[in-house]
């Protein structure tokens, strides 16, 4: 079986940004290669040097795509041409994108299989691009100009989802929303995450609380700083805030806030290959995002694999945190978030017991080849057009 992954970027390409989709696609591609599956990975790049190359057993095909509000229309044909050259048995695409349409269109034309994977909790909703556009802070004139393109892109994505042979969801909520909006049944398969080297070796946990994400108002790093202030009396604990942003004004504001506290440390953007080192030393990982549409954050999995409980303000994918005692979810209650977070720092026995449960849960849920087996089964059994 030959599988083509469609993606807008490749994890190890330093010219592009980093997001959870890239991490999951790369992990899955590596898992397939180890099982003898031929993997072709099509991705755009800002540092084009050659048409294709083999990276860790993955055949990466670089696409010279265009940038701009309506560039995706032209990019459709670039990706279709790459698929024509590769001629895979199965096309896999993850996340809501114009590439969802590309995968469906090529598979239908060539009587092959197209498998789609949802990402965020709102990935199976109708009119997502339009909703995000009109809820943004863009001026009205700009929204009016961009609306036709957003409308068409949403329509293309809807067509791609409807035309898929099989759909993989991260959570039960995504599966339910998929059925409600598209009348299609998805299969819930946990994200695949092989055990990082740092997590495979016993590491002495430090009195460190970690926050790691892209700096943005929706991620609410201010609340992590507020937690650090609330826990100033917790002797020896330091609060490490990692992440970057292109918004210089916002970065300056967060930096100024953090400098007021002696137990706060900002470390800037953390490359993915260095992130596991932070998780391995952290005794607690904190998520302050207000984004209920996050799906299953890779950071949660990395923390659990490293034996670090998660203190989450809002998000609890599949109810795992509370159901399996993998940390604390405050369900949006800031006072509970602060008080229970501080209590956990003061209770070493409870924190370490949670850490052991986190690692056991993560090893059996995400770091297992059973996930690769399930994907292979889905790819082989998905009915062709």
Domain ranges of the chain: 2-193+368-381, 197-365
* Nearby residues of 323 by Cβ (< 8 Å), 6 or more positions away: none
As a whole number of angstroms, the distance between CA 86 and CA 106 comes to 12
CATH topology of domain 197-365: Rossmann fold (3.40.50)
Pick the closest to residue 192 from 65, 45, 368, 350 (CA basis).
368
> How much is the pLDDT for 382?
55
Residue 174 CB-density burial (10 A; 0-12 exposed, 13-18 middle, 19+ buried): buried
**Sequential DSSP letters for 287-304:** E----GGG-S-HHHHHHH
* Residues 67-77: tens digit of each pLDDT: 776 788 889 99
pLDDT at 385: 39
Rounded Cα gap, residues 243 and 215, in angstroms: 6
- 322 to each of 177, 268, 309, 319, how far by Cα in Å? 22, 31, 11, 6
Whether 197-365 and 2-193+368-381 are alike in CATH topology: the answer is yes
Residues of the chain with pLDDT under 50: 200, 383-385
pLDDT for residue 338? 97
* Residue 34: its H or E element: helix 20-34
Classify 2-193+368-381 by CATH class: alpha beta
Question: Which pLDDT does position 292 carry in this prediction?
Answer: 61
Q: Which residues pair with 114 in a beta bridge?
A: 91
Distance CA 239, CA 231 (A): 9
């Amino acid at each position: 079986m030959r599988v083509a992954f469609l993606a807008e970027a490749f994890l190890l390409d330093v010219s592009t940004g980093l997001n959870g989709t890239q991490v999951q696609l790369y992990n899955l591609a590596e898992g397939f290669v180890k099982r003898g599956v031929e993997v072709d990975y099509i991705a755009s790049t800002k540092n084009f040097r050659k048409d294709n190359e083999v990276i860790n057993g993955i055949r990466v095909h670089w696409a010279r795509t265009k940038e701009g509000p309506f560039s995706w229309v032209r990019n459709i044909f670039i990706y279709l041409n790459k698929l024509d050259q590769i001629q895979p048995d199965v096309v896999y695409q993850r996340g809501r994108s114009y590439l969802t349409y590309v995968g469906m269109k090529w598979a239908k034309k060539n009587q092959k299989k197209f498998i789609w994977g949802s990402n965020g909790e709102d990935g199976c909703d109708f009119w997502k691009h339009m909703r995000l556009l009109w809820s943004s802070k863009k001026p009205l004139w700009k929204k009016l100009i961009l609306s036709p393109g957003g409308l068409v892109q949403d329509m293309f994505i809807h067509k791609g989802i409807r035309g898929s042979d099989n759909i993989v969801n991260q959570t039960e909520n995504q599966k339910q929303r998929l059925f409600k909006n598209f009348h299609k049944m998805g299969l819930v398969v946990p994200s695949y995450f092989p055990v990082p080297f740092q997590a495979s070796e016993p590491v002495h946990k430090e009195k460190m609380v970690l926050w790691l994400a892209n700096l943005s108002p929706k991620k609410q790093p201010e609340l992590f700083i507020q937690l650090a202030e609330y826990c100033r009396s917790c002797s020896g604990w330091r609060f490490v805030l990692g992440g970057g942003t292109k918004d210089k004004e916002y970065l300056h504001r967060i930096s100024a806030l953090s400098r007021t506290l002696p137990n706060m440390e900002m470390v800037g953007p953390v490359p993915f290959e260095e992130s596991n080192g932070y998780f391995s030393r952290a005794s607690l990982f904190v998520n302050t995002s207000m984004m209920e549409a996050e799906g299953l954050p890779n950071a949660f999995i990395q923390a659990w694999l490293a034996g670090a409980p998660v203190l989450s303000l809002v998000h609890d994918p599949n109810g795992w945190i509370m159901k399996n005692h993998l940390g604390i979810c405050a369900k949006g209650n800031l006072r509970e978030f602060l008080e229970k977070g501080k209590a956990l720092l003061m209770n070493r026995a409870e924190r370490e017991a949670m850490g052991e449960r986190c690692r056991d849960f993560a090893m059996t849920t995400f770091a297992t080849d059973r996930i690769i087996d399930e994907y292979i089964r889905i790819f082989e059994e998905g009915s062709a057009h």
